Chain A
């Protein structure tokens, strides 16, 4: 079974600085997706960034970027120029890809990010 581990239950960062959230996963599959979801106090789950395992290039979305190390099964999220609105619980997630239609997400336990003004 696939597992996703987020070893940092809580992190804090000063506004305008950079923070990196860690995620490791375990799978025997070669084709899969990795995601970072954000859950602010409103509880809405918001997709932050997505990475396809077959792509060597790290995904970026504005101030958010990932460091995807497939051999090490590591998928960290870097938030640059942190803003107060980035404060949230961040979940790392994994899903299978391929020809089927089941893409259920397996989530880590989450990292609570606090942004200090």
Chain B
């Protein structure tokens, strides 16, 4: 158990819909990263938040957005869903004190039908 929690574990929805994925980092970790794992693209970095502020963006679509709340949990919002958005979405957290060791949550499996 990494200490990072993600909900829900599985999500099945239809094209055009909007979903929210939730992540709670390990206690004390200020950084939250979102990654997408798909068969086509492999593991890709989407976005990072550090102590409530966006710090870096990767290959994140405009239809996707994220935020980190004062209690440090983070949400990834996916809208106007397409079939190609079906993937495993991971959240990871890290603490600057320990360098760059990132601890991954169990992931949310999103299926768009």
Contact = CB atoms under 8 A, between A and B. Distances in A.
Nearest to A110: B42
A95 B100 contact: yes
Contacts of B88: 43
Nearest to B51: A101
Contacts of A75: none
Provide the main secondary structure of the chain B interface.
strand
Interface string B67-100: 0000000000000000000001010101010011
A97 interface: yes
A102 B35 contact: no
B106 A43 contact: yes
B9 to A, nearest CB: 10
Given A101-B50, A102-B56, A107 B42 contact: yes
Interface in A65-101: 91, 95, 97, 101
B43 A103 contact: no
A37 B106 CA distance: 14
B45 interface: yes
Given A33-B100, A44-B104, A44-B106, A101 B42 contact: no
Interface of B: 2, 31, 33, 35, 42-45, 48, 50, 55-56, 58, 88, 90, 92, 94, 96, 99-104, 106-107, 109
